[in-house]
């Protein structure tokens, strides 16, 4: 009798479990393969958020000298550096026995980002529907891929990232030049849009403020310029203060030339 009562229940339970497993697998598959197209503005915000989080993590690991190596046994923990996990029975020494703190952690984060965006560049270099899907979609796959690359760097010896840092110093100027062109273009675009709002007929109001005189947006433009110049001067002073001057003659020359070019381009 008991078996007769339990048989339908077990059948229903088995069917529900199979259905739940199939739904979960389908959901995971759609999550990884769904284009989930974001708007151009949202796409820029998502990519900027990834870069911001990576930058903050790199700064924390750089200056707190927190070791990324998960060495959790007494054989490999010499007490010279703190690790993410306490000493225990399990043991695995990451980074091939090397230290993963300071600049080595920064190199690993930089390499992970470079690998991700290099793949995206190759997949979206040609203008097509597929390139749009790659650029503005597949966000779960991108995050999982970035996490997988980051974890993989922990199993890579520091010598690899020493070569990466050497190559990056020659590629970085081109990337900085591209950023400079992008910032200049963004500045001209923002200036043009703010001025156009004052020259409309009638002038567009600024939030809750009336704009009968047609100078509100120009005033906002001027305020933004003053804030940016204040940030420029503050950042330049911070670089003079924190970056070594006597031991590295390149630092003061680079900072001074950057400040000079900024003031020269103001005119």
Q: Mean of the pLDDT values across residues 128-142?
A: 88
The answer to whether the CB of 68 falls within 8 A of the CB of 154 is yes
Q: Mean of the pLDDT values across residues 149-174?
A: 88
Rounded-to-integer distance, Cα 137 and Cα 31, Å: 11
Dihedral, CA of residue 227, residue 232, residue 235 and residue 236, to nearest 10: -150
Query: What mean pLDDT, rounded, does the chain reach?
Result: 77
* Residue 206: strand pairing partners: 209
Confidence band (pLDDT; 50, 70, 90) for 9? very low
**pLDDT given at position 67:** 66
The answer to whether the CB of 65 falls within 8 A of the CB of 102 is yes
What pTM, to 2 d.p., does this model score? Answer: 0.65
Residues 6+ away with beta carbon under 8 Å from 111: 149, 153, 161, 164
Confidence band (pLDDT; 50, 70, 90) for 202? confident
The answer to whether the CB of 221 falls within 8 A of the CB of 193 is no
Confidence band (pLDDT; 50, 70, 90) for 175? confident
Q: Mean of the pLDDT values across residues 219-236?
A: 90
**pLDDT given at position 198:** 82
Rounded-to-integer distance, Cα 152 and Cα 111, Å: 11
Rounded-to-integer distance, Cα 148 and Cα 156, Å: 13
| Per-residue pLDDT tens over the stretch 43-82 | 888 999 999 999 999 888 888 876 666 555 545 545 444 4
CA 79 vs. chain centroid, Å, equals 32
**Own/partner pairs, 161-167, CB within 8 angstroms, 24+ separation:** 161/104, 161/107, 161/108, 161/111, 164/107, 164/110, 164/111, 165/103, 165/107
Rounded-to-integer distance, Cα 22 and Cα 251, Å: 59
């Amino acid at each position: 009798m008991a078996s007769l009562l339990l048989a339908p229940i077990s059948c229903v339970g088995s069917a529900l479990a199979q259905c739940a497993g199939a739904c979960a697998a389908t959901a995971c598959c759609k999550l990884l393969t769904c284009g989930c197209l974001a708007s151009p503005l949202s796409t820029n915000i998502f990519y900027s958020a990834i870069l911001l989080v990576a930058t903050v993590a790199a700064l924390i690991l750089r200056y707190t000298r927190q070791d990324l190596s998960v060495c959790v046994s007494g054989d490999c923990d010499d007490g010279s550096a703190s690790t993410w996990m306490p000493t225990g029975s399990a043991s695995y020494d990451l980074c091939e026995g090397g230290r993963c703190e300071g600049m080595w952690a920064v190199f690993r984060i930089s390499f992970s980002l470079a690998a991700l965006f290099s793949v995206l560049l190759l997949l979206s270099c040609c203008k097509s529907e597929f390139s749009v899907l790659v650029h503005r979609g597949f966000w779960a796959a991108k995050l999982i891929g970035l996490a997988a690359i980051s974890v993989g760097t922990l199993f890579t010896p520091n010598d690899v990232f020493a070569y990466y840092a050497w190559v990056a110093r020659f590629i970085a100027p081109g990337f900085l030049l591209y950023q400079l062109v992008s910032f200049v273009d963004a500045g001209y675009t923002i200036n043009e849009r703010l001025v156009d709002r004052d020259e409309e007929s009638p002038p567009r109001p600024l939030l809750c403020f009336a704009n009968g005189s047609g100078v509100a947006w120009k005033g906002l433009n001027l305020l933004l310029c003053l804030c940016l110049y204040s940030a420029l001067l503050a950042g330049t002073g911070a670089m003079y203060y924190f970056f070594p001057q006597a031991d590295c003659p390149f630092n003061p020359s680079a900072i001074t030339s950057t400040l000079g070019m900024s003031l020269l381009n103001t005119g």
